[in-house]
Structure 1
Amino acid sequence: MRKLYRYIAVLLTLCCSAAAADEGLWQPQQLPELKQRLVAQGLLTAQQQADAFNALPLNAVVRLNNCSAAFVSASGLLLTNYACVANSLQQVGFSTPQQEFSAANTADEIPLPGVRALLIQQVQNVTVQLNRQLDASASASERAIALQRLSQKMVDECQQRSNYLCEVTSQHDGLEYYLVKSEPVAELRLVHLPLSAVSAEQAPNWGWPRYQADYVFLRAYTADKTAFKPAAHLTLSATGITEGDTVMAAAFPQQSSRYASADEVRFLFEQYYPQSVQYRQQALALITQLAPPGSARARQYQDLVRSLQQSLLEEQNMIARYQQSSLQQKKDTATQQLKAWIAGSPVRQQLYQPRLARLQQLSAQQQIMAQRDLVLTYLSRAQLPTLARRLYKVALAREQAQDSTAQQQVAAEMAQLQQLISEMPEQFDVRVDLELALHFLRQYASLPPAARIGALDHYFALGDGFNQEIVRHKLETMYRGTSLRDAEQRSLWLERSAKQFEKSRDTLLSFAVAMHKVGEELDQQRFEMASHLAQIRPLVMEIHMAYAEANGQLAYADANGTLRLSFGKVKGYQPVDAVWYQPFSTVQGMAVQPHASALADSETPLPVNFLSTIDTCGRGSSAPTFNARGELVGLMFSGVAENQLANWHYDAKRSRAVHLDIRYLLWQLRQSSASRHLLDEMAVSF
């Protein structure tokens, strides 16, 4: 174990040199490939082999929902970000900035509901096994169904042979498949929640400097209610890190599109998002007009308005960031360079050009579908038609559910509908609902012919254009003739059979029944498109990997919720001309904090947060952060403003991850007698 530890530590020290940049969301199984490149450069002299999951720091990392956590004691103490368990904390009563908590002993620890914790034990490449069983002559949709069936069979067999939770994941857009075996943690309990962690929810996103104590301590328990004993746990670095130090993060980033084509990125930021912004603005204007501030209707729609405003701001910021960035220019240049490389060889032309042409064709079709689905999403803001459709759909599913899995899915959908129905009296107004439906039917009618739905056009007489009087009359008839306007009737329909829906003279339910087949056809369209893309994207990914290899580089897979390692250095950056951001924020900058004055005269500033060049994507990029010795030096919890486009590219000059400095965490624990015992448990010395 000590030898493996040393090997991983050496890799941490030198990996940035191997990657030739800090960009990269690396799979742990790629570590040998990175190591070989280090050997070729003379940085390592021995062909050492290591199982990354059996060596520190990875054998102390836990997947916690969609985040990561780390064991920091032999008694199952876990350290993670507040955001990773925020929903569960709210369920047990911790939801306001005035609340903090420290369990004096294990008996005081609070069980947290709805948190899944997994300790990865093994990752096995099963690409050959799966591909061997797939029919090469099958259609794209047949292949997708077969792959899903084979993957589920592999998972079932794996779980029958062990106590592990098994999952088949894909990498490189389906070019590779891995069987991931994880040990589940039976229960998690809250041990310590600092006051400033809850307050951090109120802080603006993407800013720098930041002063957030974004952390929470949990304890893992086994099924028999005893503390989980991890195979290894991390050491917290009391000395911390300095500018220029190498750091590594182990995260589970959910999604990225680093290999999206220039045309795909252009469509997204120059058509799709701008159209979405317009729709949100229109919906907000309509609701404000019909439910003016201070009115009862305004209170009914305040949650929807808040959600629309937040999403609107995010999309506007992303569009503005795109317009200011070099993203499109880089994508255009990269596309030209890739095409030039392909054109430089007759073999590459014959093999690769048809693949790119096929992807371009499918992308064009997908964009038409995306425009249609976008307006349908806003049309679904009209609650009564959407409720009618979901009620009929669940009635059908209830009758068709044969196995326990299907029955559980139906039960979950019914529970969601019951909650929706119970909340509707406080969040629904007939007039607002009808006007939203009318408005977005008008937007739907302006779509190009290829994006239109024949049955919907026929029902609302949209074939010759949008006639507001006709459409309004049809909607008013539907809303007048439905029992769903009555709160009690909504709950009754949740229990009725599909045949009762089909025989009903309820105007809105009849509409739902009439449109159900159309909805199934649209779902099938989406599935077939996804299947075709799933068939071509691995072939295109092969091109990117071959191109990277030809240029002496190693390709990484797009993020998809699996464990990734990112390497970087502690470093500031220049966001605009004449401005340089230092890599550390300190308590001296926390002017509004009550303890800031007590430390203001200290000769050695206490760091609070720090920046690194670690590659991360998405807002929820929570992860423990290690130094070159594998010690815990921080918790990554966010990115700077320039990271808003991190799902699509990495900007070496401006992409920065934001981390909580572990020294600030340790300082906070020392300030309170209620939490000081955690220092003893973690064996932290000063």
Structure 2
Amino acid sequence: MNLTVKKCLIAAVAALTIGSAHADEGMWLLQLMKQQNSIDMMKKQGLKLEADDLYNPNGVSLKDAVGIFGGGCTGEIISPEGLILTNHHCGYASIQQHSSVEHDYLTDGFWAMNRSEELPTPGLKFRFVHRIEDATDLVNQKIKAGEVDEVHAMTRPFLRKLAKEQLEKSDLKGKPGIEEEILPYYAGNKYYLVYYKVYSDVRMVAAPPSSVGKFGGETDNWMWPRHTGDFSMFRIYADKNGEPAEYSADNVPLKTPKYLPISIKGLQENDYAMIMGFPGSTSRYLTESEVKERMAAQNQPMIDMRGVRLEVLRNAMAASDKTRIQYANKFAGSSNYWKNSIGMNKAIVDNNVLGAKAEQEKNFNEFAKGKPEYEGVVEKIDAIVEKRLPLNRQFGYLREALSGAIEFGSPYIIMDNMKQALEEKNDSLLQVSKEQLEKIFKDVHNKDYDHEVDRAVAKAILPALAKALQPDELPDFYQTIQTKFKGDYNAYVDDIYDNSILSNRENLDKFMKKPTVKAIEKDPATAYSRSKLEKLVETSKAYQEASADLALLHKAYIRGLGEMKQPVPSYPDANFTIRLTYGNVKPYSPRDAVYYKYYTTTDGILEKENPEDSEFVVPAKLKELILNKDFGRYAMADGTMPVCFLTTNDITGGNSGSPVINGEGQLIGTAFDGNWESLSGDINFDDNKQRCINLDIRYVLFILDKLGNCKHLIDEMTIVE
């Protein structure tokens, strides 16, 4: 090799390495930081800590101050007494769970003045990552031995069974609160076994009123500038030995081995920022055809069907405080990704994601020449997508409308068992079925369900679904609507909601007193549910058959893309496992002549205030504090009060509530959103436009102190000034 060529190659490798050091893309695996040299890249951007400070498999590290909050968010520990900080929208279901017309914590907020006032929250859990083990060789051995094929090795049933077997062999067997999970990474090219330590006594400690925690509502969701005080606080309780335990009055606050100190020193543009959390799902390695499929078969059905339901709920909630509280969490959850889907489809076009994917495929095809394991992979993926797209779209609409929007139905399998028991005079089966039916009734008619609201949703959704799909794509009950009810959707829905066995307590009691085969066969909800489920199962099965071989093609495609990038490391798609992303505090310019600063202040709250709009109401006490500039030690040097700030961190759903940490390992904020212009980021990261919207920890402390009068909570934190 001549010296000139050698120098060029060295320069090319150096450019790749340096480029990766300045790119903020990547949801990196903690267990691979040293192997992938990501710690060096982070230090170049301002990290002052060592790799073992972030993740130490043999000791305490930042990892031990972060966990899964509930079922889909991240939370961090901010005191030695197990105090959790997460987002308001992450705690929203729990706040709603405790709310009633008499105690409307959603509207008024909640502040526990002492430990005895902290509210037990049944069903809420907090999961710490206890240990991570590489399970790749284990899975590959099972494949090699013929115990499982490559495709089924990636499936949850197989991996759950394998994880359970490993727990039984480990030193963690029988220890309280331990849960296990094996998941595929890099599309099945790697596998990791994660052990979690799960605490199930988690109590609500503090939540600002929704006029703070949800300020801006739907209008500001996914938008910048932002002025939302999106936080809530909870506390982990354990038994006297610090071990996980179900709720007991004898439980005590968990003495945590690691918690995050809090910095109120302030932020400057380009400051280092890292986020540790549990991003839920990304699809960064899709082909161009798969992105088009995502737009048409997943996003558009969500936009169309959720839009119909949300309009019904919006009107019902505006008319009744009881309904508003009942449906607050359902509405928020549905609305969030309804708007996300709108923004994603727009951003895919605006940011030329399809062009970027086409370029990636072109480069891959060049790389694949002469490599049998990679040649033709993209074309084979495209062929499968073309075949399954109509089925995927059909299933998307059916799922959103019939499984997502309408709640009422009948457990037809239980009804079939009851019918069999009556025909065979099987008293034992009849009694079991009765007990099951009683439980189903209570589950359906729970405190957060309104039969009339759901009836109104059904009347709006069923005709909307009929317009979206072809007649042969619809369940058979649509034929009943046309024949028996002469196309009258309202009459069909009323028949189900008035006359079904599970429609109300009177109908159920009458049936239970004298159950008959005839009553079961005539039950309209049972016929509706059977028809709905049969069509969903039929469509899902056809979709799965059409998708055969896609998993192995993705495995090859992602492996090849990784080889193309070497020596620059690659990260796997998010799968709700712990990740670290790093970046900087930074403004952005979304379009010509528009420039956004990297932070907002309370001045913007008063600028947005509109007493006539529930999304922009400002509490009187907060307004007074802002006008008087009564910000205490939490203000910036110029006396203004920060609210939110921007970083270039790579995040997605699941990162909500994640700690934003400076280069010294101190908490500076909590992540809660992404910006509108980059909602295609789950598919294709854009360095120029991608921003993470974070709540400044100084605003959290200000609200906690001045609005909530919770100085006792601040006193248990470690504050760095």
Tell me if the contact between 1:414 and 1:494 (Cα under 8 Å) persists in the aligned partners: no
Equivalent of 1:566 in 578, 581, 584: 581
Kindly provide the amino acid, as one letter, of the partner of residue 393 in structure 1: I
Aligned to 2:615: none
* CA distance in 2: counterparts of 1:56 and 1:640, whole angstroms: 31
Tell me if the contact between 2:629 and 2:639 (Cα under 8 Å) persists in the aligned partners: no
Residue-pair matches, total:
637
* CA distance in 1: counterparts of 2:20 and 2:39, whole angstroms: 6
| 1:392 pairs with 2:412 | yes
**What do residues 123-172 of structure 1 show as CA deviations (whole Å, max 9, x unaligned)?**
11112112312365966776545445334433565563533222222222
Equivalent of 2:40 in 23, 38, 52: 38
Equivalent of 2:280 in 232, 250, 254: 254
Equivalent of 1:640 in 675, 679, 682: 675
**What do residues 283-313 of structure 1 show as CA deviations (whole Å, max 9, x unaligned)?**
899x89xx9x99xxx99xx999999888765
Shift in Å, 1:370: 1.0
* CA distance in 1: counterparts of 2:662 and 2:24, whole angstroms: 15
| 1:444 pairs with 2:457 | no
Equivalent of 1:553 in 568, 584, 588: 568
Query: Which shifted more, 562-571 or 522-531?
Result: 522-531
| 1:56 pairs with 2:72 | no
Corresponding residue SS for 2:182: strand
* CA distance in 2: counterparts of 1:60 and 1:556, whole angstroms: 23
Kindly provide the amino acid, as one letter, of the partner of residue 175 in structure 2: S
Aligned to 2:629: 599
TM alignment of 1:47-196, pairs within 5 A: 51-52=55-56, 54-65=59-70, 66-93=72-99, 95=104, 98-134=107-143, 136=146, 144=155, 146-155=158-167, 160-163=173-176, 164-195=178-209
Aligned to 1:325: 351
Aligned to 2:230: 214
**1:675 to 1:24, Cα distance in 2 relative to 1, 3 A:** same
* CA distance in 1: counterparts of 2:556 and 2:287, whole angstroms: 14
Tell me if the contact between 1:19 and 1:554 (Cα under 8 Å) persists in the aligned partners: no
Corresponding residue SS for 2:715: helix
Kindly provide the amino acid, as one letter, of the partner of residue 413 in structure 2: K
**What do residues 378-405 of structure 1 show as CA deviations (whole Å, max 9, x unaligned)?**
6638999x955x42135569999x9xxx
Query: Which shifted more, 583-592 or 558-567?
Result: 583-592
* CA distance in 2: counterparts of 1:381 and 1:502, whole angstroms: 25
TM alignment of 1:456-471, pairs within 5 A: 456=476, 460=479
Tell me if the contact between 2:275 and 2:580 (Cα under 8 Å) persists in the aligned partners: yes
Corresponding residue SS for 1:217: strand
**1:181 to 1:311, Cα distance in 2 relative to 1, 3 A:** closer
* CA distance in 1: counterparts of 2:586 and 2:404, whole angstroms: 48
* CA distance in 2: counterparts of 1:478 and 1:207, whole angstroms: 38
Kindly provide the amino acid, as one letter, of the partner of residue 392 in structure 1: Y
Kindly provide the amino acid, as one letter, of the partner of residue 690 in structure 2: S
* CA distance in 2: counterparts of 1:41 and 1:120, whole angstroms: 25
Equivalent of 2:651 in 581, 598, 616: 616
TM alignment of 1:569-588, pairs within 5 A: 569-588=584-603
Corresponding residue SS for 1:575: coil
**1:682 to 1:502, Cα distance in 2 relative to 1, 3 A:** same
Shift in Å, 1:495: 7.5
Q: Which 5+ residue runs of structure 2 have no aligned equivalent?
A: 1-16, 241-250, 422-428, 430-434, 610-622, 631-635
**1:547 to 1:420, Cα distance in 2 relative to 1, 3 A:** farther
**1:567 to 1:676, Cα distance in 2 relative to 1, 3 A:** same
Corresponding residue SS for 2:280: coil
**What do residues 593-620 of structure 1 show as CA deviations (whole Å, max 9, x unaligned)?**
3323333997353322111001112386
TM-score, length of structure 1 as denominator length: 0.78
Kindly provide the amino acid, as one letter, of the partner of residue 387 in structure 2: Q
**1:380 to 1:496, Cα distance in 2 relative to 1, 3 A:** farther
**1:620 to 1:37, Cα distance in 2 relative to 1, 3 A:** closer
Aligned to 2:664: 629
Aligned to 2:554: 537
**1:226 to 1:131, Cα distance in 2 relative to 1, 3 A:** same
**1:107 to 1:97, Cα distance in 2 relative to 1, 3 A:** closer
Aligned to 1:28: 30
Shift in Å, 1:685: 5.5
Query: Which shifted more, 256-265 or 130-139?
Result: 130-139
Kindly provide the amino acid, as one letter, of the partner of residue 629 in structure 2: L
Shift in Å, 1:245: 0.9
**What do residues 491-528 of structure 1 show as CA deviations (whole Å, max 9, x unaligned)?**
46997999958972557645765786665544544555
* CA distance in 2: counterparts of 1:260 and 1:483, whole angstroms: 47
Alignment RMSD (CA, Å): 4.8
Shift in Å, 1:673: 8.8
**1:201 to 1:166, Cα distance in 2 relative to 1, 3 A:** farther
Shift in Å, 1:39: 9.2
TM alignment of 1:224-235, pairs within 5 A: 224=240, 225-235=251-261
Shift in Å, 1:672: 6.4
Shift in Å, 1:38: 3.4
* CA distance in 2: counterparts of 1:219 and 1:121, whole angstroms: 19
**1:536 to 1:425, Cα distance in 2 relative to 1, 3 A:** same
* CA distance in 2: counterparts of 1:245 and 1:653, whole angstroms: 17
**What do residues 56-93 of structure 1 show as CA deviations (whole Å, max 9, x unaligned)?**
32221122122222222222222222222111112222
Kindly provide the amino acid, as one letter, of the partner of residue 627 in structure 2: S
**What do residues 446-503 of structure 1 show as CA deviations (whole Å, max 9, x unaligned)?**
67xxxx58x959x949xxxxx9679947998998799428645764699799995897
**1:84 to 1:381, Cα distance in 2 relative to 1, 3 A:** closer
Tell me if the contact between 2:207 and 2:231 (Cα under 8 Å) persists in the aligned partners: yes
TM-score, length of structure 2 as denominator length: 0.74
Shift in Å, 1:573: 0.4
Equivalent of 1:365 in 363, 379, 387: 387
Kindly provide the amino acid, as one letter, of the partner of residue 628 in structure 2: A
Q: Which 5+ residue runs of structure 1 have no aligned equivalent?
A: 1-14, 403-407, 462-466
Shift in Å, 1:188: 1.8
**1:556 to 1:26, Cα distance in 2 relative to 1, 3 A:** same
* CA distance in 2: counterparts of 1:152 and 1:642, whole angstroms: 43
Corresponding residue SS for 1:614: coil
